[in-house]
Amino acid sequence: MIRRRILITGASAGLGAGMARVFAAKGRDLALCARRLDRLEQLKAELTADYPDLNIAVAPLDVNDHDQVPRVFAELAVQLGGIDRVLVNAGVGEGAALGSGGMQANKRVLRTNLVAALVQIETALEMFSGAGSGHLVLISSVASAKGIPGSWAAYSASKAGLRSLGESLRAEHADGPINVSVIHAGYIESEMTAHIKRPMFMRDNQTGAGALVDAIEREPGRAVAPWWPWAPMIQLLRMVPASRMKPAS
């Protein structure tokens, strides 16, 4: 099944913008939302110039404004004539070691990556239930595979929580007509990964976004993208004793 009308949150930069470009190249209509409307407008102008036949709608959205989420999703659905797939992608990567005085940053990570994701999930499922079908995609991370000490502790916990929500939903909707996919993104060039000091196996945004879209299009229950080296590495991470994990700075 080809999902022609795709909504992406956090679409103004990074993985969201990268995936929007790949989907546009495939001829998909797009509903793009994020906090930074100016960047969304720039992306819309770029994609409209390259693909003038596409319907591309943009709207400002702060996913932490929970009342805003259903309103913006509904407005974008009207502009596209419906939504077939929702990518819960908006997120932040800041954080601090637990107990180091960075509680506010860690709260922002959990609030944005998990609580706000729950609001998007609830909204998308209601939309799909009314339409009779849909594909819900949760963009998690390879960091969800194991708790990471140091500054990534809250981030890895937030993405593990998102993974758990996806697993619950896959079981609940195993017989359709709503499909649920959890995609574990590896290290891909973006604003969120710019602070990584030793970006081992980092993929450029275009390559990484292409791998994510290829995985999403298959509509798996769970996938790792890019597959190499991250799928094998997740298995290795799960076997590493917690005492051997090095704190992330």
Catalytic residue among 152, 155, 187, 230: 155
Domains held by the chain: number: 1
Confidence (pTM): 0.92
Q: What is the pLDDT of residues 161-189, one digit of tens each?
A: 999 999 999 999 999 999 999 999 988 87
The whole-angstrom distance between residue 162's C-alpha and the CA centroid of its chain comes to 10
71 within some domain: yes
7: left (phi over 0), alpha (psi -120 to 50) or beta: beta
Look up the CATH number of the domain holding residue 167. Answer: 3.40.50.720
Catalytic site includes residue 155: yes
Hey, is 64 helix, strand or coil?
coil
- Quick one: CA torsion of 208, 210, 213, 217, rounded to 10 degrees? -140
Instruction: Return all residues near 220 (Cβ < 8 A) that are at least 6 apart.
Output: 181
pLDDT in tens, 98-156: 999 999 999 999 999 999 999 999 999 999 999 999 999 999 999 898 888 899 899 99
Q: Is residue 173 part of a domain?
A: yes
> Does residue 249 lie within any of the structural domains?
no
Which tens digits make up the pLDDT trace of 20-48? 999 999 999 999 999 999 999 999 999 99
Determine, yes or no, domain membership for 18. Answer: yes
In a domain, 199, yes or no: yes
Beta strands in the chain (DSSP E): 5-9, 29-34, 56-60, 85-88, 134-141, 178-185, 222-225
Is residue 55 situated within a structural domain?
yes
Grade residue 232 by pLDDT with cuts at 50, 70 and 90: confident
- The string of DSSP letters for 24-38 reads HHTT-EEEEEES-HH
Is 16 within a domain?
yes
pLDDT band at 242 (very low <50, low <70, confident <90, very high): low
Write out the residue range of the structural domain in which residue 220 sits.
5-244
The answer to whether 105 touches 151, Cβ cutoff 8 Å, is no
In a domain, 94, yes or no: yes
Q: Kindly provide the residue ranges of all beta strands, DSSP E only, lying in 90-208, ordered along the sequence.
A: 134-141, 178-185
